[in-house]
C-alpha cells in the first residue's frame, strides 16, 4: 500500500473511532453546549470539504487516465462501470445527481499532462487551490464556474483567468461584506433581545457574540453565483446577443427535387420556431380528452365487460413512425394555413389548387358518387390520374352541378367550361377544383 493511501486509511479509522466514541456512544451531540456544538459543526464541515476536495482530485485523475483510450482500456471499464459518474456512485454510495456534480467539478480542476512531463494548469486553477484549502465546497465551486462555462467562447482564456482569480478571492472572503440581520432586533421599538432585560443585556450580547464567532460568515454558493454573474456581465456585456444574430443568419429550409413522389427537406430552424412547431405536434397528436397516460382499471370489471361483449372492437390502425407523424402534422399545418384568410394571395387570386380533365376520362362505375354531367346522364367517376395545373401536390377533386351556376372565389364569372361541346373542365371552372 502506498504511503499516501496508508495515511488516508489511518485518517478514516481515526474518524470512525471519533464518531463511535463521541456520537454513537452515550448522549452524543446532546452532551455538548451551544458553543461546543457549533464549533464541532464547523470543524466537521471543514473535514467534509477537505474530503470532497480529495474526492474531486481522485475523479479528475480517473478522467485523465481514461481520456484518449479505447472503451475497453479505460479505467472506468476495467472497474466494471459504464462511465466516471457510475464509478463515483459506487465509490461514494450516492445518487447519480451528486455523482454528476462531483464529475463536473473534476473536469474543472483536471490538469492534463504535457509532452515534457509537467502538468498543465487546471481550467480554474485559483478556485482549485481554494477548494483544496478547505475554504470552498463543491457546490460553491460549481456555482462560481457554471456561469463562466455557459459563456463558452464568448470570453477568452485571459478573461477566464481573471474571473477565476477574482472569484477565488471572494470565496476566501476577501472583499466580501455579508448582509446579516441583527438578531438583537431594534431596541427602539421594543423588539430587541434586550428589551425588558436591561440588567442582563451585557451577558446576552457577549454570549451571542461568542456563538456568532463560532460560525463565521463566509460566501455561500448563492453569493458566488451572483458574483460570477456580475463578473461575466463585465467581461461579456453583449451576452448571447451576437450568438443569436449568428444563429438567425444561418436559418433556412432546403427542399430537394421530387423523386418517387417524395421531396427531401433539410435545413435549420430557429429555437422559437421549432418549439412552436413541436407544440402544434403535441396538440394534434395528443388532443385534449385523449388518454395519454397510464390508467389502472378493475381487472374483474374488464373481464365482465369482455365476456358480455359490450366492448366494441376498435379498428386497428397502422402504427406510424415519428417521422411520419411529423410529416402529417406539417401537412395539416400547411392545409390550415392555405385556408386561412390571413394567408397572402398570389396576384390577388384565391388560394386554390385546381386540376384539369376531360369528359372522356370520366368513367361510370359502381360505388361512385352519382354526379351528372351535362353531356351524359350516367354516373360519373373521377379519373384515376388527372393532370394537375399549378401544383404537383395531390389535388382535391370536387364537382357539383349546383356550383356551375355561381362563380368560385377568385375566378371569373364567364360560363363554365362544362357547357362547352368538348366537355372540358379547365383550371378556372368552378365545377372542378
142 vs 224: CA distance, rounded Å? 9
Give me the count of residues in the chain. 433
216: left (phi over 0), alpha (psi -120 to 50) or beta: beta
Q: Which three cell numbers stand for residue 15?
A: 474518524
φ/ψ of residue 26, rounded to 5: 70, -150
* CA-angle at 59, arms to 55 and 63, nearest 5°: 170
Query: What are the tens digits of pLDDT across the range 232-273?
Result: 888 888 776 777 787 888 899 999 999 999 999 999 999 899
Predicted TM-score of the model (pTM): 0.55
400 vs 373: CA distance, rounded Å? 9
DSSP codes of every residue in 36-91: HHHHHHHHHHHHHHHHHHHHHHHHHHHHHHHTTS-GGGSHHHHTT-SSHHHHHHHH
51 vs 96: CA distance, rounded Å? 19
pLDDT at 85 over 50: yes
78-87 mean pLDDT: 92
Comparing CA positions, the residue from 60, 65, 71, 148 lying closest to residue 109 is: 60
Comparing CA positions, the residue from 421, 369, 423, 424 lying closest to residue 398 is: 369
Contact (CB, 8 A) for 372 and 401: yes
Average pLDDT, the chain: 75
Half-sphere exposure of 152 (CA within 13 A, CB side): 6
361-381 mean pLDDT: 52
DSSP codes of every residue in 151-177: HGGGS-HHHHHHHHHHHHHHHTTTT--
Q: Residue 86 class from Cβ within 10 Å (0-12 exposed, 13-18 middle, 19+ buried)? A: middle
Q: What is the pLDDT of residue 1?
A: 65
368 vs 386: CA distance, rounded Å? 17
Q: What is the pLDDT of residue 143?
A: 94
Number of H helices, E strands in the chain: 14, 5
Q: Which position has the grid cell 397502422? A: 318
First vs last C-alpha separation in the chain: 88
* CA-angle at 386, arms to 384 and 391, nearest 5°: 135
Q: Which residue has better confidence, 210 or 181?
A: 210
Q: What is the pLDDT of residue 412?
A: 42
Amino acid at each position: 500500500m502506498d504511503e499516501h493511501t496508508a495515511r488516508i486509511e489511518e485518517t478514516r479509522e481515526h474518524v470512525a473511532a471519533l464518531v463511535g466514541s463521541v456520537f454513537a456512544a452515550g448522549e452524543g451531540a446532546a452532551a455538548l453546549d451551544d458553543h461546543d456544538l457549533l464549533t464541532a459543526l464547523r470543524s466537521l464541515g471543514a473535514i467534509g470539504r477537505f474530503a470532497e476536495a480529495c474526492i474531486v482530485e481522485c475523479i479528475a485523475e480517473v478522467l485523465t487516465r481514461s481520456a484518449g483510450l479505447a472503451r475497453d482500456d479505460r479505467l472506468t471499464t476495467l472497474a466494471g462501470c459504464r462511465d466516471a459518474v457510475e464509478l463515483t456512485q459506487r465509490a461514494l454510495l450516492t445518487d447519480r445527481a451528486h455523482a454528476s456534480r462531483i464529475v463536473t467539478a473534476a473536469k474543472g480542476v483536471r490538469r492534463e499532462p504535457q509532452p515534457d512531463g509537467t502538468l498543465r494548469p487546471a481550467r480554474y486553477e485559483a478556485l482549485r487551490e481554494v477548494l483544496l484549502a478547505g475554504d470552498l465546497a463543491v457546490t460553491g465551486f460549481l456555482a462560481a464556474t457554471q456561469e463562466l462555462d455557459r459563456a463558452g467562447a464568448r470570453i477568452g482564456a485571459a478573461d477566464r483567468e481573471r474571473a477565476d482569480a477574482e472569484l477565488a478571492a471572494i470565496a476566501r472572503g476577501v472583499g466580501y461584506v455579508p448582509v446579516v440581520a441583527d438578531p438583537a432586533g431594534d431596541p427602539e421599538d421594543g423588539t430587541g433581545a434586550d428589551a425588558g432585560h436591561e440588567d442582563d443585556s451585557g451577558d446576552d450580547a457577549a454570549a451571542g457574540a461568542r456563538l456568532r464567532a463560532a460560525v463565521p460568515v463566509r460566501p455561500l454558493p448563492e453569493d458566488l453565483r451572483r458574483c460570477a454573474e456580475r463578473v461575466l456581465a463585465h467581461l461579456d456585456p453583449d451576452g448571447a446577443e451576437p450568438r443569436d444574430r449568428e444563429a438567425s443568419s444561418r436559418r433556412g429550409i432546403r427542399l430537394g427535387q421530387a423523386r418517387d413522389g417524395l421531396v427531401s427537406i433539410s435545413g435549420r430552424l430557429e429555437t422559437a420556431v421549432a418549439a412552436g412547431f413541436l407544440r402544434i405536434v403535441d396538440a394534434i397528436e395528443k388532443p385534449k380528452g385523449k388518454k395519454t397516460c397510464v390508467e389502472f382499471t378493475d381487472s374483474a370489471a374488464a373481464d365482465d365487460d369482455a365476456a358480455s361483449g359490450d366492448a366494441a372492437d376498435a379498428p386497428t390502425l397502422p402504427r406510424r413512425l415519428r417521422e411520419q407523424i411529423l410529416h402529417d402534422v406539417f401537412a395539416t399545418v400547411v392545409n390550415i394555413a392555405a385556408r386561412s384568410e390571413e394567408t397572402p394571395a398570389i396576384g390577388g387570386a384565391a388560394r386554390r389548387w385546381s386540376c384539369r380533365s376531360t369528359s372522356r376520362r370520366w368513367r361510370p362505375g359502381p360505388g361512385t358518387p352519382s354526379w351528372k354531367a351535362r353531356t351524359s346522364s350516367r354516373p360519373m367517376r373521377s379519373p384515376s390520374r388527372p393532370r394537375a395545373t399549378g401544383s404537383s401536390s395531390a389535388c382535391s377533386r370536387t364537382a357539383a352541378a349546383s356550383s356551375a351556376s355561381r362563380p368560385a372565389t377568385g375566378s371569373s364569372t364567364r360560363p363554365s367550361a362544362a357547357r362547352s361541346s368538348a366537355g372540358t373542365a379547365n383550371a378556372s371552372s368552378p365545377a372542378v377544383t
